[in-house]
Structure 1
């Protein structure tokens, strides 16, 4: 009998700036994330997703999540083809400023959110 090795979740971190004038709007939209976006996040093997906010030295969002699939880049590419997700990104990108040089938006070019490096973790 063959045994299948369990997928070890890989943790990711990201950060992006939030425009100060968009703070209330950003919180409001994330209090009621569109169901199609939530479904695509799950379908893309993303779990334990959290976005945190710090206000100093300027408003910045930090996201963490676990990817439980076998193909992170493929899952992210598939997410980027979802029209409702692309619409969501258009709305949220307008509230953010990317720290990634040369980026044009969440759906194109280099990543909109800057990936962070995990330097410590304890389960």
Structure 2
């Protein structure tokens, strides 16, 4: 159920292992339909992933959470078998900026960013 509150905006980053650059781009051209559906059912909207190659390959993700129970929605998505399979695939291509991180399923895996400026 969508929230009546303004969307919660989230920004994250993670490093991409250079040897997986092409493969990462290729699999994101055809994200599995079950994964896309799980993202939508978790009340995530306007989701984008950007890539910067310098100073090292870094992924930046942003999305809006439009639901009313973020923690429950994220737990439900994390328990989805196809999402878990997708994370096992993509985690091997990434390097977390979080010391000791073990993977998306054990989170946190992506570094979180704070919004310091916004113009609407």
TM-score by length of 1: 0.93
Secondary structure in 1 aligned to 2:105? coil
1:88 and 2:86 equivalent?
yes
Query: Deviating runs (4+, > 6 A) in structure 1?
Result: none
| Residue 6 of structure 1 pairs with residue 8 of structure 2 | no
Question: How many pairs align?
Answer: 118
Which of 111, 116, 121 pairs up with 2:113?
116
TM-score by length of 2: 0.95
Structure 1 unaligned blocks of 5 or more: none
State how far apart, in whole Å, the 2-side matches of 1:105 and 1:53 are.
20
Residues in 2 aligned to 1:45 and 1:60: alpha-carbon distance in whole angstroms: 25
Coordinate RMSD, CA, aligned? 1.0
Question: SS of 2:15's equivalent?
Answer: strand
